[in-house]
């Protein structure tokens, strides 16, 4: 029997340094780290990440590819190049998964062959390429009378109906999309390979609250993992950038305790 490892995402420590995230993960008792590939050179440096993992005793277990709006120029502008380099980095540091966002609508050539391109790359590596669920972008009409939705991702923001072998489920993203995370997890079944443990009130904003502070069924999702055949890892990905240091630490401690309390052992 095993309990899925609980990772601290470097994004949960932003804007603090990458090294401080490793230090926090070790001090607070996390099992490993998820590294968001970002503007800081060490997030792209396998040797430096391995040194940090050895120094603090917490391995890098997942890599988040730089496929966000804010990382459009990290590792160049070729989206497939970003994914290929993310896989190479994961292999070099011994990470089990690479988290990938679906293409933006304006990346039409990239999007046209995205499902097939992910499948080809998956066949060539043991690292799990886990495509993350996203959400429609929402904005109020100028008169304030209604909310407009724009589907900003191709082939779709919802990976359930697409042919990805592995999927990352982000509970905050599900909240923005008006979805029930437990229902999404059950529809994914064995394709659920990685979890971003966080929460949402259902706001149009991607809140990334500590689990239990919103309205998503975080506890129920964790308890359902054995029946889904889950064999992956769980990364705490919460927004703390506007918090004071003691508030941030409390959120990270609380998130880890929540996961430990509700995670059952897996066969």
| The pLDDT of residue 151 | 79
- Cβ contact 156:183 at 8 Å: no
| The pLDDT of residue 125 | 98
| The pLDDT of residue 104 | 95
Report the alpha-carbon angle 241-242-247, nearest 5. 90
Report the alpha-carbon angle 61-29-12, nearest 5. 60
Q: What is the pLDDT of residues 4-34, one digit of tens each?
A: 999 999 999 999 999 999 999 999 999 999 9
Cβ-based neighbour number of residue 140 at 10 Å: 11
Q: Are strands 60-64 and 233-236 parallel, antiparallel or unpaired?
A: unpaired
Instruction: Strands of the chain (E only): list them.
Output: 6-9, 32-36, 60-64, 97-100, 128-132, 137-140, 147-150, 166-170, 192-197, 233-236
| The pLDDT of residue 145 | 55
pTM: 0.94
| The pLDDT of residue 174 | 97
pLDDT beneath 70, residues of the chain: 1, 138-149, 266-267
Cα dihedral 11→68→166→136 (10° resolution)? 110
| The pLDDT of residue 267 | 63
DSSP assignment letter at 52: H
| The pLDDT of residue 258 | 97
Q: What is the pLDDT of residues 114-133, one digit of tens each?
A: 999 999 999 999 999 999 99
Q: To the nearest whole number, what is the mean pLDDT of the chain?
A: 94
Residue 118 CA: distances (Å) to CA of 68, 166, 188: 17, 10, 17
Q: Is 234 helix (H, G, I), strand (E, B) or coil?
A: strand
DSSP assignment letter at 114: H
| The pLDDT of residue 265 | 76
């Amino acid at each position: 029997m095993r309990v899925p490892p609980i990772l601290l995402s470097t994004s949960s420590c932003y804007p603090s340094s990458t090294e401080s995230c490793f230090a926090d993960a070790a001090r607070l008792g996390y099992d490993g780290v998820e590294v968001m590939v970002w503007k800081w050179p060490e997030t792209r440096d396998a040797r430096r990440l391995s040194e940090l993992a050895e120094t603090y005793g917490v391995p890098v277990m997942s890599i988040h590819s730089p496929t966000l709006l804010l990382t459009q120029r990290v590792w160049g502008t070729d989206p497939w190049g970003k994914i290929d380099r993310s896989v190479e980095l994961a292999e070099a540091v011994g990470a089990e998964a690479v988290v990938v966002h679906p293409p933006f609508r304006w990346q039409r050539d990239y999007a046209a062959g995205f499902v097939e391109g992910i499948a080809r790359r998956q066949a060539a590596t043991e690292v799990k390429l886990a495509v993350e669920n996203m959400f429609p972008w929402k904005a109020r009409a100028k008169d304030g009378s209604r909310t407009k939705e724009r589907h900003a991702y191709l082939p779709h923001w919802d990976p359930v109906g697409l042919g990805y072998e592995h999927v990352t489920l982000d509970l905050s993203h599900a909240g923005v999309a008006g979805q029930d995370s437990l229902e999404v997890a059950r529809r994914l079944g064995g394709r659920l390979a990685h979890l971003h443990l966080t929460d949402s009130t259902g706001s149009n904003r991607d809140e990334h609250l500590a689990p239990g502070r919103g309205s998503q069924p975080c506890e129920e999702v964790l308890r359902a993992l054995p029946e889904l055949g889950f064999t992956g890892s769980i990364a705490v990905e919460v927004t703390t950038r506007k918090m004071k240091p003691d508030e941030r630490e409390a959120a990270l401690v609380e998130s880890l305790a929540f996961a430990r309390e509700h995670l059952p052992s897996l066969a």
